[in-house]
Chains A and B, each alone.
Chain A
Amino acid sequence: MIAAITYSLCALTAAVCAYLLLQAYRRGGYRLLLWSGLCFTFLTINNLLLVCDKLIFPQIDFSLWRNMSLLIALAILLYGLIWDTES
């Protein structure tokens, strides 16, 4: 029960973070918000895969896909952080 609530809320809060960051980017145009928003979009996918892995399809191992989505999320964010720092 705790696992189901925790994993689901992680996905939900990551989605809310992505929405708020991308919304703030649309209003302000500050590029770091875009990179952060895209990062949280992939973190939402990462957490949805966690829900699939642990709760919906426990017999299937999603760890490779989960870690891949995490790396994409962080690669986007780090690219943005380095790019914005240099500009």
Chain B
Amino acid sequence: MNELSAVMLGAGATASLVASLFFLRFWRQSRDSLFLWFSVSFATDACTRLMLGLGHIADEQQPFFYLARLATFCFIIIAIVQKNWPRRNGS
């Protein structure tokens, strides 16, 4: 990884953390689980990018870091579908 990529990775991790805090605030205001999953997703993203940027992680170990991202994306999909499902049935 070159220096520019490392800087961009750090900026991306920070931006993810900021987005996570925004969604956490929205969740506290509305108690909507979708916001909580967004917050968890972006916080996880920030952590994985930070760890990938800081550590010298072998290529074989990297997929396990991305499993966390995959799990949070799945939770977001479930939360969106759950949010829209009652509306579809109700109409």
Tell me the A residues contacting B by CB distance below 8 Å: 2-3, 6-7, 9-10, 13-14, 16-17, 20-21, 24, 36, 50, 54, 61, 63-64, 67-68, 70-71, 74-75, 77-78, 81, 85
Contact = CB atoms under 8 A, between A and B. Distances in A.
B5 A64 contact: yes
B interface bracket (residues with beta carbon within 8 Å of A): 20 to 34
Interface in B20-50: 22, 38, 49
Given A13-B77, A14-B73, A68-B8, A6 B67 contact: yes
Chain B contact residues: helix, strand, loop or mixed: helix
Nearest to B84: A24
Contacts of A16: 73, 77
Most buried by A among B9, B16, B69: B69
Interface of B: 1-2, 4-5, 8-9, 11-12, 15-16, 18-19, 22, 38, 49, 59-60, 62-63, 66-67, 69-70, 73-74, 76-77, 80-81, 83-84
Given A7-B66, A74-B16, A78-B18, A67 B80 contact: no
A20 B9 contact: no
Nearest to B53: A67
A3 B66 CA distance: 9
B15 to A, nearest CB: 4
Contacts of B22: 78, 81, 85
A47 to B, nearest CB: 8
